[in-house]
Structure 1
């Protein structure tokens, strides 16, 4: 491999390595993992309804308008499903895979121009292996493609910022920046422009205080972005749909998105997702796992480099202000800070390159060597301790989870646990001995081995974890036994969106009264009744003078609510 990385086609070979790595990490489980509740199921179902109804302007989940996010991801998912299989789930996940791959390759495209290609590969590969990105790549949601759009914007900005003063920017960078901005707005509204805007604002403020040797012109580096043409491009991408949806919904989409989704998140913990400031920092060791073992010392050691290294300066301007904003916003979900992860991965590449340079020239005083204060030296120690604890807990959890959920032993869980524990032990030992490049290799190898096992085999085979899949299997079995039970399904008590995707758009998610009425109106239908609603359901059935019979019962763990559920399958009594 060294021969290829030193040759004339090193960059091409690097892209190929990363592409293959992404396929290994992101594809296992793509076709076997059932829909996750609740966001993934809602996105996939809304995209499928676009195909069913032929309406590509309005966004709906069953009969309910979904005025939350712009249309970008729905169009991508609908196009993917139309070209493949609209009834399966995996086509709706393909845009997320594409977004994750693009984010990794874009990160590498910036890294290879600023550091040795080996460390550029390491940085991009660590991003690909983070548990948060691997998870988002498997979900039919907005965030992986949003990451690609924001990374495109930031890479274009960074390429302009770090270029030598006597070198002209590439003529296509403005397309990358403004195209990424248009894509990010169509995917998630103001998030992309906010992150790039905060990066620019931070650089403008910081550069005013910096010597000319680090800024060389301060604002001249923006000349390659062509703002007039760029704004026209972004407007051409966004305005047609925005006008169309405003006309189709009498202006309610924008007002509902702002007052019903955006503002509540800024004011309080929306939909029970509130958390205090500092939560993302506390979760970082887990969400950036396994690379977080290297991230903590990187963040400490590269902070001082922002004064002399333009790339590091840009990366910190990318991370800090946006991270602070997300920490201050009351509503918090782990994936909100994902757009800053490429910058953190790039900083790790810079730090590994610095360590290698210092090891090769031990007698030379390096200007890139950070000098953290006494308090800062404790940060990597605390982060490493958390990382060690997460590795041990995760390894044990992979064995315990099947025993708890299925009352059964899983050899796939054992295999995954052994990989995690071995990786934890080997990486910890190398880390304690200061062999950071070996730590990086161990982490990457461990991720490549463990994620396909967990996502390709371990998770899909957990029976008790996938209640909606068990419901689908039971409904299919009952219909084979009773061919007359071909009518619609109504569910009360268990109303997760994945039911609508698996059982079909007409599936009714109702209360106990409507579930009883459903059997009266549809004698060939089924009613699913969670045990907590069973007494009220029977009272409603009795008031209607209807005889029902329970044909089956299942039990599983509803992870959305964190509780066990028992579901009975009822039909009108046969004469």
Structure 2
């Protein structure tokens, strides 16, 4: 090993090498450091972000309704069956809320951060499992570098803060692929026992099936198919290397984990869950763009300039090297993890940035493997240009923050811009170190830059974008009502976050129906957008009632960018 890497000098290279040498002493110490890094990356803004429409509050509301109804089989959003994803994430979110309530947190059911805890745990597990998966071939320090880069990745940081499936799903994929990596590596020797790996892989497949259906199986299956073709090309033994997976104890345990809920939901919905989840949701996305989320092939590649930051410049440098080394076992495995599924996602018309997140650990590990070989060098002008991608994103965000907060916020946020700008300076220094082939210090600098970016955006900037926080502000205005509403309607603003923050039986209607709703018994409230207020006022006049306006909320709907002016009314009880 290069002795310069363990220098104890005060240079960045020496400091990072000293830190890596200390963390290499034990897996426990390495995992503790990675967990601490994960929390530093994921916690800023975790508790302050409002429910992010539309998917997050839909998941959270369905989990809340499980607790309200004590029905942990069917998945519903208000009165509508939500037959899209399996039950796993809802169980985890409901368990998180139930535990918070047991510990005395009375507002847990309407506190979105409680529902995000499974995602936070899932994202942290992605980091730890990336380290574990890397140990199949990498030295500890390079497995640490891969995991640290994964913790810094923009997309994983986003998903750690959203009460959705993707962080937990990615953890199941990395666990399964880490087990498959060891099975792939062990095929060349008969000395190594593979007692644990089949159980890890099958249980990861079972957990993935309960979280998001066939996605974990697709990633593992396509990788296994690609590797089997490679194996068979030289030895005509296409599937023999997978023989350790034919462990009926592991398979049986996985079936025991998965089967009960799938049988129960089939009985309760008379098969409707499978026809809607598979035929409607999954195959519908394959057949065409759904919910205005269509994009051409290549969109994920372009989006990765942001979503894969700060790994992306390292990945750009690593790709041609990986292609030259594609026949080597380690590189073949990581490419089998990455390429087939990436092509599938690019081919499917419906595209959302988080779909490719389970493939990002493969990129981090590929970068670390090439760095371990000493080949991650900027020996061409285009590679030096690629290094510019490292400071480019924080520079763009630092420049955008004052404008965005002036336009959509309660003040121009300069502190957040300054913090992100400092991250840009650190990223530029990391790019300079990368140009000098100092990969470990460059990776550490990239992670540090990501930490500044995260804090500046999530903790200092987003809380000031009040124009987008319509639902929390509407709920806060309603809390000033002179009476406590026992029924609420909304006309013109029907986002799921408003259901989550108010009442499960929130009446989604129009202005005229909202006026008739106010005639009902008890204290009633209505949110009415200005576009519906003409109907609302006319109907109120015809009914001879005059509810009390308690406030107005102005803002922008995050979905579609429409400006809204919403009045809040109560009938005074």
For the criterion TM > 0.5, the same-fold answer is yes
SS at match of 1:209: helix
For residue 34 of structure 1, report the CA deviation from its aligned partner.
1.5
- Residues 400-549 of structure 1: pairs in structure 2 closer than 5 A: 400-477=403-480, 479=481, 482=482, 484-522=483-521, 524-549=523-548
Alignment partners' CA distance in 1, 2:240 and 2:86: 34
- Larger deviation: 71-80 or 112-121? 112-121
Alignment partners' CA distance in 2, 1:178 and 1:56: 24
2:165 corresponds to which residue?
142
The answer (yes or no) to whether the contact 1:554–1:566 under 8 Å persists in 2 is yes
For residue 52 of structure 1, report the CA deviation from its aligned partner.
0.9
1:52 corresponds to which residue?
68
| Cα shift readout 1:89-132 (whole Å, capped 9, x = no counterpart) | 22211111111111111110121341222211110110111010
Alignment partners' CA distance in 2, 1:282 and 1:563: 27
For residue 424 of structure 1, report the CA deviation from its aligned partner.
3.6
Alignment partners' CA distance in 2, 1:254 and 1:382: 49
- Answering whether residue 274 of structure 2 is matched by residue 254 of structure 1, we say yes
SS at match of 1:339: helix
Alignment partners' CA distance in 2, 1:486 and 1:6: 59
- Answering whether residue 284 of structure 2 is matched by residue 264 of structure 1, we say yes
2:90 corresponds to which residue?
74
1:32 corresponds to which residue?
48
CA 1:188/1:16 → structure 2, altered by over 3 Å: closer, same or farther?
same
- Answering whether residue 81 of structure 2 is matched by residue 61 of structure 1, we say no
- Answering whether residue 132 of structure 2 is matched by residue 109 of structure 1, we say yes
Alignment partners' CA distance in 2, 1:495 and 1:63: 15
SS at match of 1:325: helix
Number of equivalent positions: 549
Alignment partners' CA distance in 2, 1:291 and 1:126: 6
1:209 corresponds to which residue?
233
The answer (yes or no) to whether the contact 1:493–1:533 under 8 Å persists in 2 is yes
CA 1:98/1:448 → structure 2, altered by over 3 Å: closer, same or farther?
same
Alignment partners' CA distance in 2, 1:21 and 1:125: 7
- Answering whether residue 335 of structure 2 is matched by residue 316 of structure 1, we say yes
The answer (yes or no) to whether the contact 2:24–2:140 under 8 Å persists in 1 is no
- Answering whether residue 262 of structure 2 is matched by residue 242 of structure 1, we say yes
- Residues 212-227 of structure 1: pairs in structure 2 closer than 5 A: 219-227=239-247
1:392 corresponds to which residue?
395
CA 1:338/1:7 → structure 2, altered by over 3 Å: closer, same or farther?
closer
SS at match of 2:374: helix
Alignment partners' CA distance in 2, 1:177 and 1:522: 57
- Residues 146-165 of structure 1: pairs in structure 2 closer than 5 A: 146-163=169-186, 164-165=188-189
| Cα shift readout 1:378-421 (whole Å, capped 9, x = no counterpart) | 87567555555433221212222211112512244233332332
For residue 536 of structure 1, report the CA deviation from its aligned partner.
2.8
Alignment partners' CA distance in 2, 1:27 and 1:169: 39
1:300 corresponds to which residue?
320
For residue 343 of structure 1, report the CA deviation from its aligned partner.
0.4
2:253 corresponds to which residue?
233
SS at match of 1:520: coil
Identify unmatched segments of 5+ residues in structure 1. Answer: 360-369, 372-376
The answer (yes or no) to whether the contact 1:487–1:522 under 8 Å persists in 2 is no
The answer (yes or no) to whether the contact 1:22–1:101 under 8 Å persists in 2 is yes
- Larger deviation: 3-12 or 404-413? 3-12
CA 1:522/1:385 → structure 2, altered by over 3 Å: closer, same or farther?
farther
Q: CA RMSD in A?
A: 2.5
For residue 203 of structure 1, report the CA deviation from its aligned partner.
0.8
- Residues 319-330 of structure 1: pairs in structure 2 closer than 5 A: 319-330=338-349
CA 1:169/1:303 → structure 2, altered by over 3 Å: closer, same or farther?
farther
- Answering whether residue 142 of structure 2 is matched by residue 119 of structure 1, we say yes
CA 1:251/1:191 → structure 2, altered by over 3 Å: closer, same or farther?
same
The answer (yes or no) to whether the contact 1:62–1:505 under 8 Å persists in 2 is yes
TM-score normalised over the length of structure 2: 0.90
SS at match of 2:501: helix
2:363 corresponds to which residue?
344
- Larger deviation: 499-508 or 147-156? 499-508
The answer (yes or no) to whether the contact 1:490–1:526 under 8 Å persists in 2 is yes
Alignment partners' CA distance in 2, 1:7 and 1:264: 47
Alignment partners' CA distance in 2, 1:30 and 1:139: 9
The answer (yes or no) to whether the contact 1:5–1:13 under 8 Å persists in 2 is no
CA 1:311/1:291 → structure 2, altered by over 3 Å: closer, same or farther?
same
SS at match of 2:83: coil
For residue 135 of structure 1, report the CA deviation from its aligned partner.
0.7
For residue 334 of structure 1, report the CA deviation from its aligned partner.
0.3
Identify unmatched segments of 5+ residues in structure 2. Answer: 1-16, 102-107
CA 1:536/1:157 → structure 2, altered by over 3 Å: closer, same or farther?
same
1:174 corresponds to which residue?
198
The answer (yes or no) to whether the contact 1:399–1:417 under 8 Å persists in 2 is no
Identify which of 207, 213, 237 aligns with 1:189.
213
For residue 542 of structure 1, report the CA deviation from its aligned partner.
3.7
The answer (yes or no) to whether the contact 1:300–1:379 under 8 Å persists in 2 is no
For residue 573 of structure 1, report the CA deviation from its aligned partner.
7.8
